[in-house]
Amino acid sequence: MPDLVERMEVLRIDSEIAMRRAHGSGAIARRVGRVILRLLTADGIEGLGEAAPWAPFGNTADTTAAAIDGPLRAVVEGADATRIAALVEAMDHALIGHPEAKAAVEMALWDIAGKRLGVPVHALLGGAVRETIPLSFSIADPDFAADLDRARAMAGQGIGIFKVKTGFLTHADDLDRLSALRETCPAADIRADYNQGLAPEEALRLCRDLDPLGLGFIEQPVRRGQERVLALIAAALDTPVMADESVYSAREMLDCAQAGWADCVSIKLMKAGGILRAREADAVATAAGIPTYGGTLWEGGIALAAAAHLIAASPNIRLGCEFYMPRYVLARDVTAEPFPYEGGAVRVPDGPGLGVTLDEETLRADLVAARG
């Protein structure tokens, strides 16, 4: 039975973050711009979506809100919300790029589909292969002593994975930070993420120094476009190398697999353009024997619920997730319920649809502009 999208509300919000952050691609502002989306169908079902762009990955909250309000609104308004795959095709045909905007629309359609049937989204994706997803926290505070205290406390809460953001200080600083964290959390799986921060001519030499540290992986040492160097590093090191900025789509995953760019890949709804496109990318990775990881940009509880449903039903996305924003970085989120954590892991939501409701008061307080 068709159910037409009658209304689309595009809510551009700005949320305060509760700690300082820095990455290989630069320091982070104290507020993060996001887009919250509400779709309402003729049957009275409301679907929620969220986009959390980050300029180093291609878009801002303003460009994303404009993409949803313009070309994607033209595709979705009046369309049958139950035809998710057809709408994903239509969005790609109507607009090149803008995966964050498409992901927000698509997750709202999944939310509607689950609510209609009274089942969680992961049940529509094949059912859960896992109920919890190991959580990784990213060490990115320019005040490293504060991060060490944080890591110690988090390890006490059961968090067993830490990803150190490297490449924004000196190489010696990075080695010191990784060693100090190893001493503070001896049992942890420690990983490093350069966010494209190394120069291609010295990246291999510098990454070699990390090889004896026994890290879980080294993520994206060089820039997108420098995959020749990424492949050299992956071939030379014992430590697995993860591609993030280099691989958005299934096609890029295919290039990664064929040319040996990396040993593992970070999957993000905001890069792939939604759950179906992320699954296509992960299917290529599965076929190539490339394990994948649940990465993020600046998503809060709505988009992370969608990503948790995807990972719950995707055996190959097995390197954990970094879905810590709602609990540890956002001063407050726009969801009514706290994001579900349990003993160092994310618990996959089990309510109908995405299993998330809006906190209208916070939404109003963080609102910058509303359209529709």
Binding site for Mg ion (CB under 5 A): 193, 219, 244
- The CB-side HSE value for 372 (13 A sphere, CA atoms) comes to 23
* Closer by beta carbon to Mg ion, 66 or else 192: 192
* Closer by beta carbon to Mg ion, 106 or else 219: 219
291: Cβ contacts below 8 Å, ≥ 6 apart = 264, 285, 316, 317, 318, 319
Crossing angle (nearest 10°) for helices 200-208 and 227-236: 20
* Closer by beta carbon to Mg ion, 120 or else 221: 221
CA distance 291 to 266: 9
Closest distance to Mg ion from the beta carbon of 331 (Å): 23
Closest distance to Mg ion from the beta carbon of 23 (Å): 8
Closest distance to Mg ion from the beta carbon of 298 (Å): 12
Closest distance to Mg ion from the beta carbon of 4 (Å): 39
Say which DSSP state 280 is in: H
- The CB-side HSE value for 159 (13 A sphere, CA atoms) comes to 25
Crossing angle (nearest 10°) for helices 171-184 and 144-156: 30
Number of residue whose CB is nearest Mg ion: 244
* Closer by beta carbon to Mg ion, 70 or else 200: 200
Closest distance to Mg ion from the beta carbon of 223 (Å): 12
26: Cβ contacts below 8 Å, ≥ 6 apart = 56, 168
* Closer by beta carbon to Mg ion, 193 or else 299: 193
* Closer by beta carbon to Mg ion, 111 or else 193: 193
The SS3 assignment for 103 reads: helix
The SS3 assignment for 276 reads: helix
Closest distance to Mg ion from the beta carbon of 57 (Å): 9
Asked if 99 and 29 touch (Cβ cutoff 8 Å), the reply is no
* Closer by beta carbon to Mg ion, 36 or else 243: 243
* Closer by beta carbon to Mg ion, 15 or else 138: 138
Closest distance to Mg ion from the beta carbon of 197 (Å): 11
CA distance 284 to 289: 9
Q: Is the dihedral of CA 273, 79, 12, 338 positive or negative?
A: negative
**At CA 217, angle to CA 213 and CA 221, rounded to 5?**
100
